[in-house]
């Protein structure tokens, strides 16, 4: 595992990265300071582009969330439908075999009863 040590040689080799880091730290401290003073209007006026971007992202997110709800409900409905079709199909085939077995038993029983009635079987 390589270890990267941040030295002055690295900092001077990439001054753009250092500048971006310093600006980010300065802006975050500035935002925290404005929030602590309670000056929200100045904060929104200064960072209006970021607020607009956050607003657009939240609107798009609110459009996607109902779509996900719809897709989840369709998925559950399809799963329940497939489960019910499988249950009905199995019960249909099992029901027919049970009916055939019952008919076979009843027909042989009625044949035996006819034989007994005719005196063929004692």
- In this predicted model, what pLDDT tens digit does every residue of 73-99 receive, in sequence order? 999 999 999 999 988 888 777 766 655
Q: Is the pTM of this model over 0.75?
A: no
Residue 4: φ, ψ to 5°: -105, 125
Q: How much is the pLDDT for 45? A: 85
Determine, yes or no, domain membership for 113. Answer: yes
Separation CA 41–CA 38 (nearest Å):
9
Separation CA 119–CA 46 (nearest Å):
110
pLDDT band, residue 56 (cuts 50/70/90): very high
Determine, yes or no, domain membership for 105. Answer: yes
Determine, yes or no, domain membership for 2. Answer: no
Determine, yes or no, domain membership for 28. Answer: yes
Domain that holds residue 55: 12-118
Determine, yes or no, domain membership for 5. Answer: no
Determine, yes or no, domain membership for 6. Answer: no
Highest mean pLDDT among 9-13, 19-23, 100-104: 19-23
Q: Structural domain tally of the chain?
A: 1
Cα separations in angstroms, 98 against 7, 104, 107 = 84, 10, 14
- Kindly state the tokens that stand for 102: 């019952």
Determine, yes or no, domain membership for 114. Answer: yes
């Amino acid at each position: 595992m390589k270890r990267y040590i941040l030295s002055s040689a690295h900092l001077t080799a990439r001054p753009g990265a250092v500048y971006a880091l310093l600006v980010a730290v300065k802006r975050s401290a500035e935002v925290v300071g404005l929030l602590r003073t309670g000056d929200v209007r100045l904060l929104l006026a200064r960072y209006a582009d970021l607020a607009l971007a956050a607003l657009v992202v939240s609107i798009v997110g609110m459009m996607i969330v109902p779509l996900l709800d719809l897709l989840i409900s369709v998925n559950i409905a399809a799963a329940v439908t497939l489960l019910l079709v499988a249950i009905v199909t199995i019960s249909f085939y099992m029901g027919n075999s049970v009916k055939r077995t019952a008919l076979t038993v009843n027909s042989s029983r009625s044949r035996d009863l006819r034989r007994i009635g005719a005196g063929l079987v004692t």
